[in-house]
A and B are shown apart, each in its own frame.
Chain A
Amino acid sequence: MGEEAREKKVVPTGAKVVAAVMIPAIAALNYAGGVVVEVLKLPLWGDTWATMLGTLISGFWVGAIGGFLYNIIMALTVWGLPAWVWGFCNILIALFTWVAIKMGWANIRKPVRLIPACLIFGFIYPIFCTILGVGLFGGGPSTKPLPAMVYAATLAATKNFWLANYVQNLSCEIPDKIASFIIALIIADRVPEKFKLMRR
């Protein structure tokens, strides 16, 4: 009788299953983000926000794998095989988000603290994008009007192919990553505690 009266603390086992379901959900949410951005005709990509969200609520691996999976799906259905390599960009985003969490830069209630994270997303991340973009896609202009104009202007002014690509990426990524980061933070803040418990 004494055995049963004692309170037992139980080790939760649900995290792995939740992660297995969460990962495709992150991929799908990234996709949905891209659709919303298109419907609202916003000059953003909007398709990496869920990678950040996944990292914020379920840890680096869920965010990274979910983000990578999104790129695989996009590669298979929209952008073609090489596009899967952008998956590494998504992993990078999960990494940067994780770093932001650890350094206390991911607190929506202290906006000033967000600045270092935004700088990383806005300026360091596009370096990788540029390398990939030139190597895999020829480094041509984007099909979005504003970045394409930026590309053409930089190319005409400096004749530097790499710089044109970098600046074009800046013009896309700075607004996109900052907006995505903020929305991910807002939602992570709103998520009920019990979901966060499934964090690895």
Chain B
Amino acid sequence: MSSLATSILRRSIAEVDTPMHRLDPRVKFLFFIWISVWAYIFLDYTLTAIFLITVLILTFIGKIFKKTVKAVSIIVVPWMAVGIPILSALFPWNKTLIYNVQLFGYNIPLYYEGLAWGIVWPLRIGVCLASAMFFLFTTEPVKLIALLFNFRMPFRFIYAVAGALQFTPILLDDLQTIIQAQRSRGLRTDVSLLKRLANYPVLIVPLTLSTLNKVQIRAIALESRGFSAPVTKTWPYDLSLKRRDYIFLAGIIATTIIFIYIYLVYGFSPINHLQFYIAAG
């Protein structure tokens, strides 16, 4: 997962150009929030699955399909693999029997409610994650910063947020170097828990000290480049809405109206008719 995260965060300047890339980042950001919220309004695994497939189609057009599927699977699949068995058997609101499993001479009944619960929640996260990746990875970093400028945050704040996306892969590279150096000095991961625990500071401490040093250097470099100047910073990238953005927005509005209708008429679980069990007590 960490190498995936690294490849996610380390991005060279996008040379790719797709219709999705050309959408205004504000529109994509809105989409990401919008669909994530709707994924939580409806408690319905069929509907959520449709959301997920829709987002994946968008990522396909944006040529980030493989990356997105990989990231989503890493979260969703293990979650379902663990959740579905345990919840089908033990979910307190289980009522509808679907199957009886024979295990070690025991009869374990599996129920629909637990199963549905175990499917819908990972799917919801899948939608959130896929849409976030859609937003992040079809937008160049300079445009992301332009977006933050658009929110009219003070520059120190913009810097803190944008800086994290850049700092992390560098740090992870440093970490790899430290890990390799320690491996050549005999660091092993196939030893006892206590020994592995003792190795935790061995890796973390040098990484942190070198990072803190870098923080100092970068701070004075930034200061030397006028970081603290009390003027309005210029950002040489402008955001402007084009026709394609308006079409996309129109689509979002139209879909919202449809969703509201479905919600009011059919409730929050239109296809699967699930109940929000925790609230039901």
Question: Is chain B in direct contact with chain A in the complex (CB below 8 A)?
Answer: yes
Seen from chain A, the residues whose Cβ lies within 8 Å of a Cβ on chain B are: 13-14, 16-25, 27-29, 31-43, 46, 49-50, 53, 65, 69-70, 72-73, 75-83, 134, 137-143, 148, 151-152, 155-156, 159-161, 179, 183, 186-187, 190-191, 195, 198
Instruction: Say yes or no: B87 contacts A20, CB within 8 Å.
Output: no
Residues of B within 8 A of A141 (CB): 82-83, 86-87
* Cβ contacts A to B, 29 pairs, < 8 Å: A14-B219, A17-B223, A18-B216, A21-B218, A23-B160, A24-B166, A24-B168, A28-B164, A28-B167, A28-B170, A28-B171, A29-B207, A33-B204, A36-B200, A36-B203, A42-B193, A43-B193, A77-B9, A77-B132, A80-B129, A137-B125, A140-B79, A140-B87, A141-B83, A143-B81, A183-B201, A183-B204, A190-B205, A190-B209
In the bound assembly, the distance between CA atoms of A33 and B131 in angstroms comes to 26
- Closest Cβ–Cβ distance, residue A4 to chain B (whole Å): 25
In the bound assembly, the distance between CA atoms of A113 and B246 in angstroms comes to 60
In the bound assembly, the distance between CA atoms of A52 and B78 in angstroms comes to 30
- Closest Cβ–Cβ distance, residue B64 to chain A (whole Å): 12
Known contacts A18-B219, A42-B196, A151 near B86 by CB under 8 Å: yes
Interface: B97 (CB within 8 A): no
Residues of A within 8 A of B40 (CB): 82
Instruction: Say yes or no: B75 contacts A16, CB within 8 Å.
Output: no
Instruction: Say yes or no: B2 contacts A39, CB within 8 Å.
Output: yes
**Residue of A with least CB distance to B169:** A28
In the bound assembly, the distance between CA atoms of A86 and B170 in angstroms comes to 24
Interface: B189 (CB within 8 A): yes
A contact patch SS: helix
**Residue of A with least CB distance to B217:** A21
Known contacts A31-B5, A69-B160, A81 near B131 by CB under 8 Å: yes
Instruction: Say yes or no: B132 contacts A80, CB within 8 Å.
Output: yes
Selected from A36, A40, A75, A78, the residue in CB contact (under 8 A) with B71 is A78
Instruction: Say yes or no: A140 contacts B8, CB within 8 Å.
Output: no
In the bound assembly, the distance between CA atoms of A186 and B209 in angstroms comes to 12
- Closest Cβ–Cβ distance, residue B273 to chain A (whole Å): 17
Known contacts A31-B172, A141-B86, A79 near B129 by CB under 8 Å: yes
In the bound assembly, the distance between CA atoms of A33 and B168 in angstroms comes to 11
Query: Which 6 pairs show the lowest CB-CB distances between chains A and B?
Result: A80-B128, A138-B121, A24-B163, A80-B129, A24-B164, A81-B128
Instruction: Say yes or no: B82 contacts A142, CB within 8 Å.
Output: yes
Residues of A within 8 A of B228 (CB): 13, 16-17
- Closest Cβ–Cβ distance, residue A183 to chain B (whole Å): 6
- Closest Cβ–Cβ distance, residue A137 to chain B (whole Å): 6
In the bound assembly, the distance between CA atoms of A18 and B163 in angstroms comes to 12
**Residue of A with least CB distance to B135:** A76
Instruction: Say yes or no: B75 contacts A77, CB within 8 Å.
Output: no
**Residue of A with least CB distance to B199:** A40
Instruction: Say yes or no: A82 contacts B36, CB within 8 Å.
Output: yes
**Residue of B with least CB distance to A53:** B208
